[in-house]
Each structure stands twice: as structure tokens, then as C-alpha cells.
Amino acid sequence: MSQELISYHGGHSGQYCNHAEDLLEEIILKYIEQGFKAVGITEHIPPVNDQFLYPDERALGLSATDLAKRFESYFSEVFSLKKKYAGQITIYAGMETETVTGYVNHVKQLIETFRLDYIVGSVHHIDDRCFDYSRSEYDGIAESFGGYDLMYQRYFDLQYEMIQELTPFVVGHFDLIRIYDDAYEERLTRPAIAEKIDRNLALIKSLDLVMDFNLRPLTRGEKEPYITGSILKKAKRLGICLVPGDDSHGVAEAGNHVSTATQMLIRNGFSTQWPVPKILTKGLKR
């Protein structure tokens, strides 16, 4: 029985990400120590241009060019760690993508350049504004949309477009848009929003993609992972595959809650035969 510990989203390290901690190698060693036989490492992609630098990167005076260079060293490090620890753990070299203006070509170019194993397709921006970095930005974006419901709808439209454009092997934290919303459970069931969720799930199923069972909310002390229970039920009905992702940003978070998540998946009738990551993005021959 393959109920092995796994994470297909995480391994952000202080070495290559300003809002993470520790060296990537230390993180890999933590996975090995916990008995992981395989893990996917998915650092954030560098920004398309300086407009999309995060506040912490800006404060350090970093440019998009600096981050592109840093990203190059990220991949050379992942591939060298992959070799170094091949006898102990299978490392899948990946990256987590964005949806800002210009992302499609940017991501395709990165895939061509680095010959990675797979991508996690995530949405952290709505119309070029980052909504998950702070509650004030989140509220500001909702206000500009005329309310949270319309912001949710736009989020799921952008996600749909991203899935069509990139065909990511893993769809990252599907309902991240709920991040600062106390009323999310009910809101996600409102017809105009639920309709878009159903449409996106059907697309995920038709492309045979994996959903990230993202454990970051548990690390923050919240009661359930991304995705929420109501969407989990829909995914199960459709026969969509879910794989845990610790979304770790340092040694202290690597592997956290993965066995709990796996038990949750088993309890809900999901398979724990984890599929092997691959690149599915169109326009690229692999």
C-alpha cells in the first residue's frame, strides 16, 4: 500500500524566497528525516518585471533581474540536491506560478529554460494586485470590485483561464481567495460562485490534473486545509486526485500535517496512490 508521506507544493527556502527561512538543503534533510521517499519543491517564480516585486523584495532593493538570477541558482541547487540525495529521496524540481499580466509567455519560457519536472499553478493576484499578502490589500481589492462575492468570482475566472493556458500538473490552493474571509464557507456555496467552482473542477477533471491539498491553513491554526469541506466533497464526486502540499516556507514547516492530511484523504475515500509529476503545458514538447 502506498500511503507514503508526500508533498507536491512547498520547500520555499530563505535561500531563494524573502518570505521563507533556511537553506533548501536543510529543508530536504528534514523531509528525509521524517521518512519522505519523494517530495516536490516548488519555489515561487521570479516576477515578470519590477512592477510585481513583493514589498519585502522591494525593501531589500532587489530587481526582477536579480530575482531571475536567483531563480537560476535555485534550479541548479535543486538539481544538484536531487543527485546528491537520490539514494534517499526522489526530489521533483518544480515551481509555483503567478497570473499577472504577461504570465503565460513568462512561465512557458521558464519551463523551456529549466527543464523542470512540473509546475504548481496558483493565483495570488487579481488584476495584477496581490490579494494574499495582507488583509488590507485583500479588503481594498474587494472594495474595488464592489464586494467580496464579485472578487471571488473574478478569482475563479482567472483561475479557469490559468488552468487553460498552463495546464499545471498541480492546481495550487484552489480556494485561496477565502484567506481573510470569516464567512467563506457560506460564500463558497452561493450560486454565482459555486457555478464557477463547478466549472473549474470540471476542467481540472477533464485535464486529469491534481489538486493541492494545501496544509498552510493548519500551520496558521485554522480548522481546515485548502480546499474546504464542501469543495472536497465535489472533488471526490468527480474523481479528482488530491495530493498533500505542506506549502512549507522553512525547516520548521517541512512535512507538517502531511500524515493528518493523508488520513483525511483516506477517510474521505480518496486514493493515496500518488501520481508522478510531469509537464503538461501546451506549446512545449517533453
Residues 60-99: x where in contact with Zn ion by CB under 5 A, - otherwise, as a string: ----------------------------------------
CA distance 194 to 182: 17
* Least distance (Å) between residue 120 CB and Zn ion: 8
Span interacting with Zn ion, options 11-19, 73-81, 151-159, 183-191, rule CB under 5 A: 11-19
Residue 4 or 161: which CB sits closer to Zn ion?
A: 161
Residue 28 or 172: which CB sits closer to Zn ion?
A: 172
Residue 50 or 56: which CB sits closer to Zn ion?
A: 56
* Least distance (Å) between residue 94 CB and Zn ion: 12
Residue 152 or 286: which CB sits closer to Zn ion?
A: 152
* Least distance (Å) between residue 219 CB and Zn ion: 12
CA distance 221 to 11: 20
Residue 13 or 122: which CB sits closer to Zn ion?
A: 122
Q: Indicate the residue type of 171.
A: V
Span interacting with Zn ion, options 5-13, 31-39, 137-145, 260-268, rule CB under 5 A: 5-13
* Least distance (Å) between residue 273 CB and Zn ion: 25
CA distance 11 to 283: 28
Residue 30 or 173: which CB sits closer to Zn ion?
A: 173
Q: Using CB positions, name the residue nearest to Zn ion.
A: 122
Which of 15, 68, 78 lies closest to 42, judged by CA? 78
Q: Name residues contacting Zn ion, limited to 174-213 (CB under 5 A).
A: none
* Least distance (Å) between residue 146 CB and Zn ion: 26
Strand partners, 130: 125
Instruction: Give the interface size with Zn ion as a residue count (CB under 5 A).
Output: 2
* Least distance (Å) between residue 20 CB and Zn ion: 6
* Least distance (Å) between residue 247 CB and Zn ion: 6
Span interacting with Zn ion, options 120-128, 154-162, 163-171, 217-225, rule CB under 5 A: 120-128
Give the number of C-alpha atoms closer than 13 A to the C-alpha of residue 109, restricted to the C-beta side: 12
* Least distance (Å) between residue 49 CB and Zn ion: 19
- Which listed residue (15, 42, 122, 256) binds Zn ion by CB under 5 A? 122
Residue 135 or 237: which CB sits closer to Zn ion?
A: 135
Residues that bind Zn ion (CB under 5 A): 12, 122
